[in-house]
Amino acid sequence: MGTMPLTPADIREKKFHTVRLRPGYNEQDVDELLDRIEATLVALEGGPRKGPLITAEEVRNSRFRTTRLSPGYREDEVDDFLDLVIADLTERGLGRPGDQRHSPPLPPRHGSDPAASRGTPETHGRAERYEAGGPERAARSRAGSSHARSGTPHPRSGPPRPALMTPRDIREQQFATTRLTTGYNEQEVDDFLDRAEFTLDMLQRGRPDQATLTAAEVERVQFATTRARPGYDPAQVDHFLDVLAEELRRYEQPHW
């Protein structure tokens, strides 16, 4: 028994987790491919056709640039989702480029079509994927749970050091929000900063045994991303977390 066919909304609303400090798929490259897939499904359901329909073979051969220092979509999540798209397009008779002969015709061109809620689907040439793995799309927010590392040192006991950052700095920190571009899920960032505020407060009170975060966990945290709704600016969040990780690391180092 086959699975339910994908709909344009399935593509438009699909979310992936993001990664930082390790390879991920370039978000713009993935989003452009998904725009083409969404436009194809719209046409197959009787909606306007805005360009050549994409085939399962084209999706299978797609290539994305990879990111490491900037946020990118998790490769395994993108690859798994594209496998579903490939199977869906194949069942619809769009396995190879030649299968487009039997697809809905293009409408007459006499003016531009209004943009959809997610933006007008584009058919840019695909960028190459330079590393193996799968793409990963995310609705912007740094989502996901932090990756615990075995042997991560917890803050050492001892007299508190002069603070460069205070719990109040964390509580009052504000970020710009994004719209129609990738951002970090605000609730997930806020929840994480609540933990950070508590941890820094305990460290500055000389109670490291109560700390719930380490510098390594701050560096490795991931958030879900948002696109259709507001999210925190990823660059601003990442910069603040880098400063926070450095502050926590001061308490984890041996005292002189």
pLDDT confidence bin for 225, thresholds 50/70/90? confident
Q: Quick one: pLDDT at residue 49?
A: 87
Over residues 71-89, the pLDDT tens digits come to: 889 999 999 999 999 999 9
Q: Quick one: pLDDT at residue 114?
A: 32
Where is the domain boundary, 100, 123, 138?
A: 138
Measuring CA to CA, which residue among 83, 95, 80, 112 is closest to residue 40? 95
Per-residue tokens: 73: 């979509």
pTM over 0.75: no
Over residues 3-22, the pLDDT tens digits come to: 688 999 999 999 999 887 78
Over residues 82-134, the pLDDT tens digits come to: 999 999 999 999 887 665 555 554 443 333 333 333 333 332 222 333 233 33
H-run or E-run covering 56: helix 56-60
- Give every CB contact of residue 235 below 8 A, 6+ residues apart in sequence: none
Q: Are 86 and 60 in contact (CB under 8 A)?
A: yes
Q: Quick one: pLDDT at residue 179?
A: 73
Measuring CA to CA, which residue among 34, 36, 45 is closest to residue 7? 45
Over residues 175-212, the pLDDT tens digits come to: 888 877 888 888 899 999 999 999 999 999 999 889 99
Domain that holds residue 185: 167-252
Do 125 and 26 belong together in one domain? yes
Measuring CA to CA, which residue among 161, 183, 188, 170 is closest to residue 229? 183
- Name the one residue in this structure whose structure tokens are 């507001």: 230
Tell me how crowded residue 152 is: count the other CB atoms within 10 A of its CB: 12
Per-residue tokens: 192: 């994480």
Do 124 and 171 belong together in one domain? no
* Higher per-residue pLDDT: 154 or 39: 39
Do 176 and 227 belong together in one domain? yes
159 part of a folded domain: no
Do 84 and 174 belong together in one domain? no
Q: Quick one: pLDDT at residue 44?
A: 92
Question: For 57, phi and psi rounded to 5 degrees?
Answer: -65, -40
75 part of a folded domain: yes
* Higher per-residue pLDDT: 1 or 127: 1
